[in-house]
Structure 1
Amino acid sequence: MKTLTVNIVTPDGPVYDSEVDMMIAKTASGEIGILPGHIPMVAPLVIGAIKLKKDGKTEYAAVNGGFIEVRPEKVSILAQSSEVASTIDLTRAKEAMKRAEERLQSKQGSTDFSRAELALKRAMNRINVYEGNI
């Protein structure tokens, strides 16, 4: 069976590098499933989970924006930040969610509101990826 090499890279360094049978990512225009031999493409990513299917098992990674470049045998994801489910600090993610919710309820200026809303989405994404609620 053919496989697909997937690399997830952030400014802090590589997060994931492995062969998979299939992957699913959330782009700005919707979810996309990628199999070996997929046509080349580039798309912006949104805050969401990356599903990586390999040998009948599924791994997850939280991605907070960035871009995906697809080639027939390789996928490169350049993300602003990313974590594989097994490396997510659940306590830290829950604390970030609580802080963001508090900022949203205080309603201090439009810039703070937008930043708090994005922080809440990132924290919820990390929690969902950790818990497998995708």
Structure 2
Amino acid sequence: MSSTFYLEILTPERKFFWGDVESIIVKTPTGEMGILKGHIPTVAVIDIGSIKIKKDGKWFEAVLSEGFMEVKQNHVIILVDTAEWPDEIDENRARAAKARAEERLQRRRSEAEYIQSKAALARAMARLKVKGKYN
């Protein structure tokens, strides 16, 4: 009996990942959430951070931005704004984005700018964390 389920990760620009996997771990606003075959149907918010994917006994990691996940019977669909493998991350660009976000957080001109700056900082930090693991 197979212990896999079908995973699709979609962004507005591309079909980032598709295929049978053994397990995933995603970041949600309340913490990490693990999914195995036979997980109960659910819908969850995806937070900025990494996704860990176990396929053929090996773990792979990528960075996801905000989005949603739907778990159905042995099929998981993740819809996010962006998704990147470690080799797609430009470390210098991520460092520059981190510095810009930190500078904007210091200014705090409006609530909207504060929220946008926190999200930009979270994206940059997630990219740097995952990129650092695979250098």
TM-score normalised by the shorter chain: which range applies? 0.7 to 0.9
**Aligned-residue offset at 1:54:** 1.8
Map 1:1-134; keep pairs closer than 5 Å: 1-132=2-133
**Aligned-residue offset at 1:123:** 0.7
- C-alpha distance in structure 2 between counterparts of 1:105 and 1:75, whole Å: 39
Query: What does the per-residue CA deviation read over 1:76-115, in whole Å, with 9 as the maximum and x for residues that have no partner?
Result: 1001222122322222111111111121223333322221
In angstroms, what is the RMSD of aligned CA positions? 1.8
Query: Which portions of structure 1, spanning 4 or more consecutive aligned residues, are displaced by more than 6 angstroms?
Result: none
**Aligned-residue offset at 1:45:** 1.2
Q: Look up the SS of the partner of 2:38 in the other structure.
A: coil
**Aligned-residue offset at 1:41:** 1.1
Distance 1:20 1:82, change over 3 A: same
Unaligned runs of at least 5 residues, structure 2: none
**Aligned-residue offset at 1:12:** 1.2
Query: What does the per-residue CA deviation read over 1:30-55, in whole Å, with 9 as the maximum and x for residues that have no partner?
Result: 32111112121111111121110123
- C-alpha distance in structure 2 between counterparts of 1:21 and 1:112, whole Å: 40
Q: Look up the SS of the partner of 1:93 in the other structure.
A: helix
Q: Which has the higher strand share?
A: 1
TM-score, normalised relative to structure 1: 0.88
Distance 1:85 1:47, change over 3 A: same
- C-alpha distance in structure 1 between counterparts of 2:109 and 2:30, whole Å: 31
Identity of aligned residues (%): 42
